[in-house]
Structure 1
Amino acid sequence: MNLAQRINAFQKLGIFFKQFSTAKIEKHSNSEINTLFFDAFKMQIERAQEFNGWFTKENVLKAFESWSEALSVENLIEWTSKYSFSKNTSPKTIAIIMAGNIPLVGFHDFLSVLITGNKALIKQSSNDKHFLPLIAKFLEHTNPYFKNKITFTDTVLTDFDAVIATGSNNTARYFEHYFGKYPSIIRQNRNSVAILTGKETEEELALLGEDIFQYFGLGCRSVSKLFVPKNYNFDMLFKAIYKFNNIINYKKYENNYDYNKAVYIMSLFNILENGFVMLKEDKSYASPIATVFYEFYDDFDNLLNKLNTEKSDIQCVVSNENVVDFVKFGQTQHPKLWNYADNVDTISFLLKL
């Protein structure tokens, strides 16, 4: 199976995903593949929250929307055209250890391994283990070539050539110890930040709300920290993000909000809050659910130097300032195929094996 055929298979998957959106779930055709898979995917989307309380139907559908946009033939060709696949004649088995914090969070690694012609040996998180096997079956039906390329396991990983593992800072140390003798990409905790200048429009701040609240802030691309100028007025921010106030009606989120608020009050911390999110001045990057940390800055260039020094903690930076690699407001959860986690080029890693 050549690269063009693999691109074609994932393009078909992207078209299939377009049937599942936050606007509506609608079957677009009665083709054989839709007859086989549409209802199965629909049922799994409806039931996702039973297996993981954070996987609301809306958030699962947002993940499907994002991937349907990414898996266009134009994007797949643009992404893969930057590499030379001719040397990759001997497929390797790549062990993928996946996180489960947001729906389909491990899909890009899965895609990268298969698009390069390698085999995927997958250990899923117990928090997100129902969609990828369905996707694998879809691909196998699209092209039988994939039938011996995808393996799922719940046991100890064996017989592999390289590892891609995603986890916490603690599990990363374990991964490094256990997989140290293999070529590997090992990812740790990262968070995303936003730089505000006070010149943002209400529309931009509302889009920032998407970056903060989508997936309940559980993703590494979710904004958990704000950098604001001295004497920044948070009133405009609170006004712009008020449209997300219904998030407090979700019980798991509300429980975290109430618990963290109680901790802050008992600890005599000064917080700003509006009934559904709290802002706390803190130098850390990883904020608890329902909390966004903030830190004041005096000079923009000094802040850039600080972020560059601490880049191992940061997944992406959101701002309307024209700086290379900055992400526009509202776009953190819509990465391009070539926006690699931790800025590690997965395709280059795989092609060099």
Structure 2
Amino acid sequence: MSPPNHIVQAFVNLGDYLTEFCENRNTKDHPAHASLEEAVQKAGHQNGWFTEDNVLHCLHHWGQLLQASKIDSWLGSYSIDSSKTPKIIGVVMAGNIPLVGFHDFISVLLSGNSVQAKLSSNDTVLLPFLSNYLIGVEPRLKERINFVEGRFGHFDAVIATGSNNTSRYFEHYFGKKPNIIRKNRNAVAVLSGEESSEELIALGEDIFRYYGLGCRNVSKIFVPQNYNFDVLFTALFNYKDIVNQNKYANNYDYNKAVYLMSAFKILDNGFIVLKEDSGFASPIASLFYEYYDSKDSIKQHLQSKKEDIQCVVSKGFITNEISFGETQKPRLHDYADGVDTLGFLISL
């Protein structure tokens, strides 16, 4: 079985709308475009990290994902009983990048359940706008979508995304209910030293998109001994204008100053600082690096740290690797933390 066609079609219509908006926003004057344009600008005013370029990147990606063929392919692996009474799923959303909780949102609705969403104070504009569009297309969704500001009302299960610190609170409040509780994770890249300039330029997209704030952003690279960082810096120079964003520039100046005062050895190109560090979560405008001796040793290390890693960017290194430049283009079946969200929801 599968979700009712009218629910799927509502998301397909949304995908068409987002794609048409992003591809034609500067070529035609349309009332529907004007309202989404206003939401884009309002989201940027609310959260300085949500620049127009980053919000449009997010909207265009979702427009490409919400196609009938891709949704059908995704759902085809599951048996969804649309006759079941909907469960109420509480979803606590992060606000680090635009629409970061949208995949949970659509998973709840397409699984036949109802969503009770608690938005991050950093991202309260875009999802309600898209929800209103969906309800306009398919009014029956109105009773299945609810946004809350305080505590959840009655709920049957919860999906909560936060930090390692907030996850302890989530465990306390939601631990007795079926749940998915997400903690900090980061993406890493494993370089061989044989990457082309095009591949390293694409890696810059993985590093700098959303200013590095997403869990799929590359925050650390593993490099062989005697790696030539000049080649990497030459490729990353394509992203030099990022330092013109005030919030990013302030973080760059601050983190660089902290490293220098602490007498850490760093590599610096004027808009990002590279620091040798065993950690995974580098601060904004910083990129950690670590040397490795052999492919086998780094594979074992990544396996031992799998709970800290969202995805791995490399070329011909491991199975399930992400190609350079693709971390912020996840597919519908690319689940956060590798936990099958849709399978969890269907099983309730």
Tell me, yes or no, whether TM beats 0.5: yes
- Separation in 1, partners of 2:246, 2:240: 13
Shift of 1:86: 2.7
Matched positions, count: 347
Shift of 1:305: 1.4
Counterpart of 2:324 in structure 1 is 329
- Separation in 2, partners of 1:66, 1:15: 11
Contact residue 109 and residue 144 of structure 2 kept, 8 A = yes
- Tell me which of 110, 118, 121 is aligned to 1:123: 118
Alignment of 1:132-151 (within 5 A): 132-151=127-146
- Tell me which of 244, 251, 261 is aligned to 1:266: 261
1:203 paired with 2:204, answer: no
- Separation in 2, partners of 1:323, 1:224: 19
Counterpart of 1:52 in structure 2 is 47
Shift of 1:352: 0.5
Alignment of 1:229-268 (within 5 A): 229-268=224-263
- Tell me which of 206, 213, 224 is aligned to 2:208: 213
- Separation in 1, partners of 2:165, 2:27: 43
Q: Please, which moves more after superposition, 320-329 or 245-254?
A: 320-329
Counterpart of 1:349 in structure 2 is 344
Shift of 1:5: 2.2
- Separation in 1, partners of 2:41, 2:115: 27
Contact residue 161 and residue 182 of structure 1 kept, 8 A = yes
Shift of 1:48: 2.1
Gaps of 5+ in 2: none
Alignment of 1:287-306 (within 5 A): 287-306=282-301
Instruction: Letter of the 1:25 partner, please give it.
Output: R
- Separation in 1, partners of 2:139, 2:42: 28
SS at match of 1:19: helix
**TM-score, structure 1 normalization:** 0.95
Shift of 1:299: 1.1
SS at match of 1:66: helix
Instruction: Letter of the 1:194 partner, please give it.
Output: A
Change (3 A) 1:87 1:139: closer
Counterpart of 2:20 in structure 1 is 19
Counterpart of 1:155 in structure 2 is 150
Shift of 1:92: 0.3
SS at match of 2:326: coil
1:313 paired with 2:299, answer: no
Contact residue 3 and residue 111 of structure 2 kept, 8 A = no
Shift of 1:73: 1.1
Percent of paired sites with the same residue: 50
Deviation by residue 1:273-298 (Cα, 9 ceiling, x = unmatched) = 10001110000000000000000000
- Separation in 2, partners of 1:119, 1:175: 20
- Separation in 2, partners of 1:38, 1:92: 34
Contact residue 257 and residue 276 of structure 1 kept, 8 A = yes
- Separation in 2, partners of 1:2, 1:231: 54
1:171 paired with 2:172, answer: no
Change (3 A) 1:238 1:24: farther
**TM-score, structure 2 normalization:** 0.97
Contact residue 86 and residue 113 of structure 2 kept, 8 A = yes
SS at match of 1:294: strand
Contact residue 211 and residue 222 of structure 1 kept, 8 A = yes
Contact residue 54 and residue 209 of structure 2 kept, 8 A = yes
Deviation by residue 1:71-101 (Cα, 9 ceiling, x = unmatched) = 1111101100000113761210000000000
Shift of 1:167: 0.5
- Separation in 2, partners of 1:14, 1:99: 22
Change (3 A) 1:166 1:88: farther
- Separation in 2, partners of 1:8, 1:297: 49
Counterpart of 1:225 in structure 2 is 220
- Separation in 2, partners of 1:304, 1:332: 19
Deviation by residue 1:200-255 (Cα, 9 ceiling, x = unmatched) = 00000000000000000000000000000001000110001111000011111111
Contact residue 19 and residue 26 of structure 1 kept, 8 A = no
Shift of 1:42: 0.7
Alignment of 1:185-200 (within 5 A): 185-200=180-195
- Separation in 2, partners of 1:305, 1:244: 32
Which aligned runs of 4 or more in structure 1 are off by greater than 6 angstroms? 27-30
1:180 paired with 2:175, answer: yes
- Separation in 1, partners of 2:91, 2:29: 33
**Cα RMSD (Å):** 1.5
- Separation in 2, partners of 1:296, 1:100: 33
Counterpart of 2:5 in structure 1 is 4
- Separation in 2, partners of 1:162, 1:62: 31
SS at match of 1:18: helix
